Amino acid sequence: MKQMFGWTGKILRVDIGSGEITTEETSKYVPEYIGGKGIATRIAWNELKPGIGPYDPENMLMFMTGPFTGTLVPTSGRGSVCGISPRIYPTPWFTYGTMGGDWAAELKYAGFDAVIVKGNSPELVYLWINDGKVELLDAKEITGFDTFVTQHRLKEKHGNRAQVVCIGPAGENRVLWSTIQHRLSNSIGDAGLGAVMGAKNLKAIVIRGSGGVNIAKPEEFIKVCREKAEMIKGGATNYPHPTDLPYHAPIGPGNQQCSHGCPLGCGVLYKNIPAGLTVGSGTRNMMSHCEDYAFIEGEATTKYPPDDIKDIYNGDMYTRGTKAFGKSMGTELQALCEGLGLTSAFPINYYPWFWVCIDNGITEIKGVKLEPDDPNFWCDFMKKVSYREDEFGDIFAEDLMRAADELDLPPVVRKAANFQFPMWGQPAHRQGRAYESQPDPLWINTMLHWIIDSRDPMACHHQSSFIAGWFPPHDEGHGGTPDSNMERLKEAYKKAFGTAEGLEPGFDNIDGKTKLAVWQDNRAQIKDSLLICDWVFPAILRTFTSREKYIEAEDYYGDIDAEAKMLAPLTGLDIDTDFIDKAGERIRNLDRALHIRNYDRSRKIDSSGEWYYEYPEKSDGTKLDMKIFDAVLDSYYRFRGWDKETGHPTRATLENLDLKDVADELEKLGKLI
């Protein structure tokens, strides 16, 4: 095998049904598909044929790294997991998730760029990867254990430096919103792939590696990595906000990085918190990234409509802010959630919905009294769901949309479920309605990401939405800073793209917004393929270490060429930003083709989420109707090179991206214009 730089050169294949273990060369897929989601999507196109379901042995669970993983690239410790998800609603289909931690870097140090698992084992097993040696081992001694105990037991057996990804009871019982878990709270959550791991009877993957990553041009690579680390040292792009001062997120007591190799400390460590319920004793530690604080601090922004628009709102949807239970009870609930292996943001959607039920006369479901303000209710709820106890636990193990289909509910309560899970069976996120404000024009971009993706896309599109923190305050004073200079912000976008039209409010300049959405989406594919942090890259904007430096700055621009500048010396290949952008476009179009071939994806399916944006945005009341939506989608398809009537890529588009074989197959199936 020819030496590779940035990649280890080997992909591990494990059929846990037959026990067969093989490898293939990574060079079959790179550099065209980069790594991570890109390679996974190419393998899915080649091997996941129409009709394969999430629990079928033919479904593959793909644990992926990227060329940046395990290197000095700032924020580069991430990995992705891809496969057909049972959670996607109404049709299970191929999707993805990402998480940080140390497992992905360890996998590369063990000699592999990816682990592709297929088959279903007749007994519960775990995979032990140790410096290129691979074994399938009996997991009966850790059957039913939570994710914390599972990791502890496996580290006792294989060494404390081993890295573990695993499922808890929820995954073993195929709960559709179960996680694949790592460390305290790193997880693949909303994608629902924990249930696939459970169906395969794969309890865990344990990894130990002592190797490294070969660098083509070490001195140049180290220099550029240091430069980009300096550029992002102010933290994630959402930090210019008075409540987040100081703007930077230093690593230290209370602030921890969520991923190997990250110079930032965006996570909060709740340490030695006394137990507040009867689910355990002693103290709890809990790491909070993103929404892991939901039980602890609550979430006021799940109220709809907020005060900013209540005087102009005449709709039928009324929801409440999510209750906080404090550090003691909240941390214990959160630890229970992570230990059982449930996606941790669920209270943000379930709490408002249970109150809609109560407000409309539904005070119990399947004999269980709804008491969302009582922490014991949530303790019992999570246990019932994770173990599929009685009818109540079993129905909500299928998640809210499928539960709502089964229950006899008033129309407004059924609609409220859809309001919380507006597309693909995924919880609302950064759309400016059920949760978080996203003022015009930002929600137009996030809408497009949701409309064309296979899951909640905002797990890898935060740079489309975090810029809300740079806007003037909105949503009852939250979500923005009074310190921002909007002209400087527009100048940064003009420097990056030659125009700031994408930041102009309203629908007068639709093309400016859709062009920006296309670019953002292409770069999201790249982030999940390299892999790097979505809270930081692509660095349209630099970040600042103090409010004073932010106010004094004459230039907000970061560097949208950063990914290429780091990838070129790492790999030694002739790579520039044009190469990066075309690779992102290739991955998105291949993903689209896969969903067209396997699931009949079309404009009709894309348009099924339009209704949600007829509700006014939380902070400014902006909304659309079907006529405006169609104009936006027409524009987006045009810049994508997709047929306006079907939403299918054209042959010219696919061939321009070196996907002639894909075009040929779609044509044979009558799915190419």
Residue 218 falls inside a structural domain:
no
Q: Are 589 and 653 in contact (CB under 8 A)?
A: yes
446 and 410 in a common domain: no
| pTM reported for the whole predicted model | 0.96
Q: Are residues 459 and 320 in the same domain?
A: no
Domain count, the chain: 3
Q: What is the pLDDT of residues 361-373, one digit of tens each?
A: 999 999 999 999 9
Which pLDDT belongs to residue 482? 83
Residue 334 in this model has a pLDDT that exceeds 60: yes
Pick 297 or 516 by higher pLDDT: 516
Q: For 375, phi and psi rounded to 5 degrees?
A: -60, -30
In a domain, 437, yes or no: no
CA 219-225-229 angle, 5° bins = 145
* Shared-domain flag, residues 177 and 266: no
Residues 266 and 305 in one domain: yes
Two structure tokens written together for 448: 């497009």
Is 96 inside a domain boundary? yes
| Dist CA 141 CA 484 (whole Å) | 56
Give the pLDDT score at 247.
Answer: 58
- Residues 508, 625 share a domain: yes
Mean pLDDT of 388-401: 98
User: Which tokens hold the place of 405?
Assistant: 């289909």
- Looking up residue 630, the CATH number of its domain turns out to be 1.10.599.10
User: Looking at the domain assignment, is residue 557 inside a domain?
Assistant: no
pLDDT score for 256: 73
DSSP class per residue in 213-257: ---SSHHHHHHHHHHHHHHTTT-STT--SGGG-SSS--SBTTEE-
Confidence grade of residue 279 (pLDDT, cut at 50, 70, 90): low
CA atoms within 13 A on the CB side of 485: 15
404 and 456 inside one domain = no
Which residue matches tokens 């939380």? 618
pLDDT digits (tens, 9 = 90+) for 143-169: 999 999 999 999 999 999 999 999 999
Whether 311 and 356 share a structural domain: yes
Write out pLDDT tens, residues 100-130.
999 999 999 999 999 999 999 999 999 999 9
- Residue 40: which CATH number? 3.60.9.10
Cβ neighbours for 159, distance < 8 A, ≥ 6 positions apart: 208
409 and 457 share one domain: no
Domain that holds residue 345: 261-420
Cβ-contact 420, 440 below 8 angstroms: no
Query: Do residues 283 and 410 share a domain?
Result: yes
Q: Which residues contact 597 (CB under 8 A, 6 or more apart)?
A: 45, 50, 665, 666, 669, 671
Q: Are residues 75 and 125 in the same domain?
A: yes
In a domain, 293, yes or no: yes
Structure tokens at 640: 């994508």
Is residue 280 domain-shared with residue 386, that is, in the same domain? yes
Q: Are residues 165 and 267 in the same domain?
A: no
